[in-house]
Amino acid sequence: MRLTDALVERTINQSGAQAIPDTHPAVPQLSELFGDHTFFLDDSGLLIVEPTASPRRGVWAGKVVKLASWSDENRTGLSPHRPEPTDVVIVMATEH
């Protein structure tokens, strides 16, 4: 899922992950491997946000999914694996 700038900021604020800019040279390869998403990095690896059902009515949410883990402790390489849903849910919007 591609996120707007506002949703990228919400994701950063709620997860602590850092967004990979669309202009980064790795983004075309990541998109080829994983689809058209906004990509994030954190201490665990490469992440995306996928829409999910929210337990609260009137809330639009996204679940953080890990696509690759760091392959070394210096975080210089990533090892792709099956998508792993995390426990992190980002509140994207609420109805007032």
CB 44 within 8 A of CB 73: no
Task: With residue 88 as reference, give the H or E element that holds it.
Answer: strand 78-94
Return the closest-CA partner of residue 88 out of 10, 14, 32, 5: 14
CB 83 within 8 A of CB 63: no
Q: How much is the pTM? A: 0.91
Q: Where are the domains of the chain?
A: 5-94
In the block, tokens 């906004």 appear at: 38
pLDDT digits (tens, 9 = 90+) for 32-63: 999 999 999 999 999 999 998 766 777 789 99
> What pLDDT band is residue 27 in, cutting at 50, 70 and 90?
very high
